[in-house]
Amino acid sequence: MAESNLTHPTYKFVEEKDADAIAWAFVDKENMKRILFKFPELKPNEIRVKITYTGLCQGDAQSVRGEWGSCNYPIAPGHEIVGRVTHIGSEVKDFKIGDKVGQGFQRDSCKTCEYCTSNKEQICKNNNDQNYTKGYKYWGGFATAIQNPHDFFFKIPDSLPEERVPPLFCAGVTTYNPIARYAKKGDNVAILGIGGLGHLAVQYAKAWECNVTAFTSTKDKEEFIKKLGANQVVLNNPETLKTEAGKFQLVINTLPAGDNLTSLVSLTKPLGTFVQIGLPDFATPMKFNPAPLIFGHINFTGTMVGSRQDIRDMLEFSAKHNITPLCEQFDFEEFPNAYDTLLHGRPKFRCVVNATHAGLKHSHMNN
């Protein structure tokens, strides 16, 4: 049934016979609803993709709760998207019907600012809500199809298993980037937190031929983490942070920055680089003593997702070294359960929804 009591500036809510896709959209901060909708007319520079697999990320929950800016409901986030091209705009030359493609956090950029013209589109100077798949003006991957400008879709190497690719467009590129940018063969690299981000960071650092030390809160993961590629696994506690201080050319912290950030930074060798990936609670003040940075001439930086070239490089590197995330899979009709697992459960590193067989009873969506 059409959602007569709901409206959206981009999509029209319609009866099933007129719908192009189905979304699991949030009607408020807590509740999601299955909504049938119709896309706007396909623009010359756009493609439409039938989603086969889509990932869930904590960033989606932050979008839904309005933590990345105010939002109007209903919204359908989702920035870890894989599918097949079904429709192509008249100006699109790089894709054909049936291509296996993916899309991440960014759906567009201004293309003209100093960052866009230097392959750093992810920090586009003119970024706004319409440039993202976080679900405000344009819905993301919590749906059976997506329609966006072709520039920020990426062809997926055939050797990568499709059902495990979606998180590469967020966790993958976010952990690949600092290793590709700062690590050298033989470097001692510390990965803090071996969860949805960290288990990928270990694999990338190992494939980069680094000596990898994984810091974890539970020692029972040791054998598993070593199978991922870690040379050493140590407990993340105050005593270990003291004994391991100053040993690492590169430290990647996937954990939210807390009151022990000073101790974590102290793991970095003088002239080394500390990369903060985990997002803190914005409402909680953080204590940090910059002395380790000053006395050790340490480069303190952060990163999130990447440019289009970063994503292409990451996909190629992942395919070459057979790097994929570990995923817990859910059916499309189980979307609310998948989201609840993300927020309140202990997912097996990443949550992925299988939308392969999801769709409408009529056939025009898949034409």
What pTM value is reported for the model?
0.93
Nearest 10 degrees: Cα torsion 315, 317, 323, 324: -10
DSSP structural state of residue 51: E
Burial of 64 (0-12, 13-18, 19+ CB in 10 A): buried
For 219, the token pair is 């020692």
Residues 6+ apart with CB under 8 A from 306: 122, 173, 174, 176, 177, 314
With beta carbons less than 8 A apart as the criterion, state whether 76 and 37 touch: no
CA 108 to each of CA 112, 135, 267, 275: distance values in angstroms, whole numbers, following the listed order:
12, 14, 38, 26
How far apart are the C-alpha atoms of 169 and 220, rounded to whole Å?
29
Residue 61's SS3 state is helix
Q: Which residues pair with 82 in a beta bridge?
A: 53, 102
Residue 68 dihedral angles phi and psi, to the nearest 5°:
-105, 25
pLDDT, residue 3, reads 60
- The predicted-structure confidence for 226-250, as pLDDT tens digits, reads as follows 999 999 999 999 999 999 999 999 9
How far apart are the C-alpha atoms of 137 and 252, rounded to whole Å?
33
Per DSSP, helices labelled H in 233-305 are 238-243, 261-265, 291-296
How far apart are the C-alpha atoms of 326 and 166, rounded to whole Å?
11
Closest C-alpha to 237, from 257, 216, 213:
216
pLDDT, residue 366, reads 43
How far apart are the C-alpha atoms of 24 and 332, rounded to whole Å?
9
pLDDT, residue 362, reads 56
How far apart are the C-alpha atoms of 252 and 241, rounded to whole Å?
14
Residue 154's SS3 state is strand
Residue-level length of the chain: 367
How far apart are the C-alpha atoms of 85 and 101, rounded to whole Å?
7
pLDDT, residue 335, reads 96
What are the residue ranges in the chain where pLDDT is below 50? 363-367
Type and span of the H or E element at 49: strand 46-56
pLDDT, residue 367, reads 41
Q: Give the residue extent of every domain in the chain.
A: 12-170+307-366, 174-302
Closest C-alpha to 166, from 244, 65, 79:
79
CATH 3.90.180.10 given to domain 12-170+307-366: yes
> For the domain with range 174-302, which CATH number is right: 3.40.50.10320, 3.30.950.10, 3.40.50.720, 1.10.40.50?
3.40.50.720
DSSP line for 198-223: HHHHHHHHHHTT-EEEEEES-GGGHH
